[in-house]
Amino acid sequence: MDAHRTHLRVRYAETDQMGVVYHANYLVWMEIGRAECCRAVGVRYKELEVEEGLFLAVVEAHMRFVRPARYDEDVTVETWIEAATRRKLEFGYRLSRGGEELATGSTKHIFLDRAMKPARLPEKYLPAFQAAVTGRT
């Protein structure tokens, strides 16, 4: 699967005193992109929680900021799956405005059960995630 694209409009509340998007909001946007990417490959995150009792915990996050985003700008969050196993998922991200790169990032996640112990993804979900792995870096 190519990168999934999610479009967001920068809200005033997401900016700081300098008038640019506060850095932590990029992680929120990555979460939105990740949920939509999973949905696009046929796996709803809510289904994993409710039906399977699984949670996708962030264990590592990286972000490189290139240019600032500002209030009312349209931001595109490109999200792709870099690796998928029954124990973990890795995602890549590119955030842009009109094709101009704003930031890049990646996150690594492990599956946890309701007791917050490491768990395995049920086999029925794995093919959808693995088919979406792009090999992009």
The active-site residue, picked from 16, 72, 74, 113, is: 16
- Closest C-alpha to 29, from 44, 9, 13: 9
Residue 16 falls in the annotated catalytic set: yes
List of residues 6+ apart from 38 with CB closer than 8 A: 44, 45
**Is 1 in contact with 134 (CB distance < 8 Å)?**
yes
3-class SS shares of the chain: helix, strand, coil, % to 5: 30, 40, 30
Distance CA 28, CA 23 (A): 10
Distance CA 60, CA 55 (A): 15
What residues act catalytically? 16
